[in-house]
Amino acid sequence: MEKVALSMLSGAFGALVGNPFDVALIRRQASISNNKNQYRSTWHAFKSIVQNEGVLDLWRGLNITVWRVIFINLGQLAGKDIIGDHLK
């Protein structure tokens, strides 16, 4: 249970830290695919999002991202470790 809890916690923390980068990446990709290309760089995307929408919008969609990463980590970290322990 300790491995399961730690893998879930690390996934949640990773999602919390990484979500702003995910938002900036998705915004840049959408901007390019719509032929608008309104962001010069990732840092410009961060600055524009904060100025136009507020700093909390960097964590838009955090709920679903946290759960997605929790289950990915649970399967990869804890799952592989537990299976590996049983195969020894």
What is the DSSP code string of 35-77?
T----SSHHHHHHHHHHHH-GGGGGTTHHHHHHHHHHHHIIII
Domain housing 72 = 2-87
Read off the pLDDT of residues 44-72 as tens digits, 9 standing for 90 and up. Answer: 999 999 999 999 999 999 999 999 999 99
Q: With the C-alpha atoms ordered 56, 58, 60, 62, is the resulting torsion angle positive or negative?
A: negative
pLDDT at 88 over 70: no
Lowest mean pLDDT among 11-25, 29-43, 56-70: 29-43
b/e for 28-60, b at 16 or more Cβ within 10 A? beeeeeeeeeebeeeeebbebbeeeeeeeebbb
- How many folded domains does the chain comprise? 1
What is d(CA 82, CA 9) in angstroms, rounded to the nearest whole number? Answer: 17
What is d(CA 26, CA 38) in angstroms, rounded to the nearest whole number? Answer: 13
Do 48 and 39 form a contact (C-beta atoms < 8 A)? yes
